[in-house]
Amino acid sequence: LECSEQLGDLVKSIDPTLALSVYLRANIPMKVIQCFAETGQYQKIVLYAKKVNFQPDYIYLLRSIMRINPDQGVQFAQLLVQDSEPLADLTQVVDVFVEQNLTQQCTAFLLDALKNNREDQGHLQTRLLEMNLMQAPQVADAILGNNMFTHYDRPHIAKLCENAGLLQRALEHYTDIDDIKRVVVQTHLLNPEWLVNYFGRLSVDDCLECLKAMLQANIHQNLQVVVQIETKYHEQLGTEKFIDLFESFNSYEESAIDMDALHIEKEDPLLTPNVRSQSSPIIVCHGDLIAQETDVIVVCSSSKYLFKSICQAGGDSVSTSYNQQISGSPNAPIIIVEPAGKIASKKIYFLPWKTNSDQSILCKSIEDFVSLALEKAIDHKYRSIAFPAIGCGGFKCSIQLISRTMVRTVYSKLKTYQMSVSFVIQPDKKDIYDEFKKHIDELQPPPSSIILKTIATKLGKGMIEVEMGDITKQKVDVIVGSSSSGILREIIIKAAGKESRMAYDIELKSHPNSVLIAIPSGSLPCKQIFFVKWEPNDNEEILQQSLIDLISTVVQNVISHNFTSVAFPAIGCGKHACSVDIVVKTMVHEMKKHLIQRKLSWTVKFVVNDNQENVYDEFCKQVLTTEDGFHEATIYQLPVTWEKSAEHKTRFTLSTKVHEYQTIASNFDQAMKGKYTDIIKIERIQNERWYMQYLAHTKDFRKRLNMDTEKRLYHGCPEQAANTIIEDCFNRSYAGVNGTVYGVGVYFSSDATYSHGYTKPNANGERCMFLSRVLVGKTTKGNNKMKTRPLGFDSTTDEKHIFVTYHDAQAFAEYLITYK
């Protein structure tokens, strides 16, 4: 009996296994595969079809299997697509799952089939997320959380996430600001910590738009998280913008809530002046570019080692994205790639670069490299970027030239844009690190420049002062506030306390149209608080007259209370953005006029926020001007870094965290060249009498020489001598104790190791060295016969690093460094 299809059909109803054997011998592929399917031998279908080179209708078979056994159907579907060349179209396979409403089985299948995250399968990634967002949102959330896929339709999935209540995932995907605002206002449905961190991804403008939307939607619900965001990002976004935002929502009742919240932020310039760090946004650090948590890291794509390490850390998605872009635009000046894997930044900028033996061409190429990266980051409104030291490795370029050019280019580019820039140096490359640090330090401002904090002038029997500070801290009889400034009013009332707030509420309710409301000072050091009704105006004449009226009102009320001192804020120079020139000139002129004409023995202060340097400068100019006929004499001026002390302290220990300390310590470390083990402390010297004498000499030197000859030099001495110097200046009566080689005077050196030789350890092994401001003036080579400065000269020198002064106030001990 010969095996045939007819024979197989006859025995199939009695014995399917025998029928299968007949079909195999008769070489009837379709019937063989049908028997495999009916007997549950699905794996053999694929093996047999490949063996006999037969192409069955796999989709038809899959449908059949799915109807009988869905779990077996999943296994069969996986067999169909497991090879690099699948036996069935993946989209059609998915259609079969969907037809049977087998979402769970389809998800398991697709998670395996799409594991390579291929771009051409983006539509299937979308379908996978889509079906789960509509039927099993928690599964979609888990898939998105694992960051498995990057090629799906993000806007579409974002919308589905929002509909499914997965608001965090929606925000991760939305890019349109209107979509973001619609979701972000629902803070009660979002994790607060995650939401605060999310704002770090937004541009400055988008961030402020969202904060505004949050307050508009529900100020009481969203206020707390808005304050948390302000606390974390005020430096990037600008405190002034936050203040404007809060004030724009102020009704009187809400103002108190807003400003209470703002008081959480210790660096708000209106609340705690003089705490803002002076640190530069440009730093050099040892580390790995991969680990930098900046908005952008910059990679030189020409550096094989760096390029390879970044691609390995980022995984296939970084390499694939870069290769696709570079193949499409081989001459692109910059390739921007989304980070992945271990890379901590938000973006990767790949830039090509070539070295050159010609130094001018090399410098130009470095400038272009740095400039392009910065310009692109600025365009994208990023706030932090990290660079490697390009050319200092395998290219073997001059470290000095590379570091100098990169640092100077960054400084030049960031004159008008605030951005944090890091130069990341490999831990074992100390020489490269030192060069970058040197060039950064060269461009840093000196640790304590003569920025005036307080100036004063005498007018008749009275005095006018200008101060950068906090008006609530003024020890005067009266401090003045404006009714039009909700923020300033709230700062004053909050600092004064509940009693003052209650008094203000009562007075406002009883006399809503009163030109001036006087309330008790509460916890403030003043005796009374005046709130004057005043409104800004764009018309310059009206603005000027309103300020004249304000000053007159205050003066009359100060007189009626028998007070003798008053402090004004810079009315209208903040949020109202009135003309600084008109405001300052009018206020100062009117106050001078009252002091002179009324013969008032008053002290009048104009207190300016420390973030309003232009306003402060204009007040100083108007107070000191002689053109109005009121000016008599300037009294004093102190450095902005100086702290106030009720005990009249002269020594203030610096925190190791402030830039003032770090700069001095860094310079000392370089100058000492390893001849010490530890800095115990650095003290700022605030001997006002000595400093004023030194300023008088500074003014004389500059006028006489028409140039600045001040140097920062070291002076070493025993601890007891240091204590005496702080109280009594560099007394020349002690000159000659330790040598007179270059003259009988006080010795200073730019070489700390030289000054170290004149220190002596105390009982704890600690030594003392001053960092001093020294007026060297016109100097000449000295010798041991010089008892005083030579005629026509101000100091003597060894013509290398030593300078000798001959006047006690020719130098000022600015800092005392205690070290071992």
Sequence spans of domains, the chain = 1-54, 176-262, 282-442, 452-639, 651-819
Q: What is the pLDDT of residues 376-400, one digit of tens each?
A: 998 888 878 999 999 887 778 889 8
Q: What is the pLDDT of residues 639-684, one digit of tens each?
A: 767 877 666 788 999 988 877 888 899 889 988 888 899 999 999 9
Asked if residues 745 and 804 have their Cβ atoms less than 8 Å apart, the reply is: yes
Q: From the CB of residue 704, how many other CB atoms can be counted at a distance below 10 Å?
A: 11
Q: What is the pLDDT of residues 437-455, one digit of tens each?
A: 888 877 755 443 333 456 7
With bands split at pLDDT 50, 70 and 90, how would you rate the model's confidence at 457? Answer: confident
Sign of CA dihedral 617, 623, 629, 633: negative
How distant, in Å, are the alpha carbons of 126, 174, 610, 730 from that of 156?
8, 9, 48, 75
Name, in order, each residue with C-beta under 8 angstroms of 648's C-beta and a sequence gap of 6 or more: none
Nearest 5°: CA angle at 125, between 120 and 126?
Answer: 110
Nearest 5°: CA angle at 681, between 676 and 684?
Answer: 125
| Residue 442: per-residue pLDDT | 74
For the ranges 25-39, 195-209, 336-350, 441-455, the lowest mean pLDDT is seen at 441-455
SS3 sequence of 458-488 = EECCEEEEEEECCHHHCCCCEEEEECCCHHH
Asked if residues 551 and 587 have their Cβ atoms less than 8 Å apart, the reply is: yes
Distance from C-alpha of 479 to C-alpha of 520, rounded to nearest angstrom = 11
Distance from C-alpha of 552 to C-alpha of 558, rounded to nearest angstrom = 10
User: Is residue 351 within a helix (H) or strand (E), and if so which, with residue range?
Assistant: strand 347-351
| Residue 635: per-residue pLDDT | 46
pTM for the predicted model, two decimal places: 0.34
- Using the predicted structure, report yes or no on whether residue 268 has a pLDDT greater than 60: no
Asked if residues 795 and 777 have their Cβ atoms less than 8 Å apart, the reply is: yes
Around 29, how many Cα atoms within 13 Å sit in the side-chain half-sphere? Answer: 13
Name, in order, each residue with C-beta under 8 angstroms of 129's C-beta and a sequence gap of 6 or more: 140, 143, 144, 149, 152, 157, 160
| Residue 488: per-residue pLDDT | 85
Strands 347-351 and 452-459: unpaired
The one-letter amino acid at 374:
L
What is the percent of the chain where pLDDT is above 90? 29
CATH code for residues 282-442? 3.40.220.10
| Residue 427: per-residue pLDDT | 81
| Residue 446: per-residue pLDDT | 47
Asked if residues 596 and 559 have their Cβ atoms less than 8 Å apart, the reply is: no
| Residue 277: per-residue pLDDT | 31
Going by C-alpha positions, the residue among 589, 621, 345 that lies closest to residue 459 is 589
| Residue 596: per-residue pLDDT | 86
Strands 452-459 and 633-639: antiparallel
SS3 sequence of 28-40 = CHHHHHHHHHHCC
DSSP state of 46: H
With bands split at pLDDT 50, 70 and 90, how would you rate the model's confidence at 272? Answer: very low
* CA end-to-end span of the chain: 108
Asked if residues 528 and 504 have their Cβ atoms less than 8 Å apart, the reply is: no
| Residue 271: per-residue pLDDT | 31
- Using the predicted structure, report yes or no on whether residue 169 has a pLDDT greater than 50: yes
Mean pLDDT across 182-192: 88
Q: What is the pLDDT of residues 4-46, one digit of tens each?
A: 877 877 777 778 788 888 778 787 888 888 777 776 676 777 7
Residue 564, both tokens: 């003798």
Strands 603-608 and 565-569: parallel
Q: Alpha helix locations (H) across 329-413?
A: 359-379, 399-413
Name, in order, each residue with C-beta under 8 angstroms of 41's C-beta and a sequence gap of 6 or more: none
Mean pLDDT across 693-711: 82
Name, in order, each residue with C-beta under 8 angstroms of 312's C-beta and a sequence gap of 6 or more: none
The one-letter amino acid at 651:
R
Q: From the CB of residue 576, how many other CB atoms can be counted at a distance below 10 Å?
A: 16
| Residue 249: per-residue pLDDT | 63
Going by C-alpha positions, the residue among 420, 297, 387 that lies closest to residue 347 is 297
Q: What is the pLDDT of residues 542-574, one digit of tens each?
A: 888 889 989 989 998 999 889 999 999 998 887
Going by C-alpha positions, the residue among 793, 785, 774, 709 that lies closest to residue 742 is 785
| Residue 737: per-residue pLDDT | 56
Q: What is the pLDDT of residues 78-137, one digit of tens each?
A: 777 777 677 777 888 888 888 777 888 888 888 888 888 989 889 999 999 988 898 888
| Residue 264: per-residue pLDDT | 36
> 452-639 with 651-819: one CATH topology?
no
| Domain spanning 651-819: CATH 3.30.2270.10 | no
Where does residue 674 rank: exposed (0-12), middle (13-18), buried (19+ CB within 10 A)?
A: exposed
Distance from C-alpha of 105 to C-alpha of 102, rounded to nearest angstrom = 5
Distance from C-alpha of 743 to C-alpha of 784, rounded to nearest angstrom = 5
Mean pLDDT (the chain) is 82
- Using the predicted structure, report yes or no on whether residue 235 has a pLDDT greater than 60: yes
Fold of 452-639: Leucine Aminopeptidase, subunit E; domain 1 (3.40.220)
Asked if residues 390 and 373 have their Cβ atoms less than 8 Å apart, the reply is: no
Distance from C-alpha of 386 to C-alpha of 365, rounded to nearest angstrom = 18
| Residue 450: per-residue pLDDT | 37
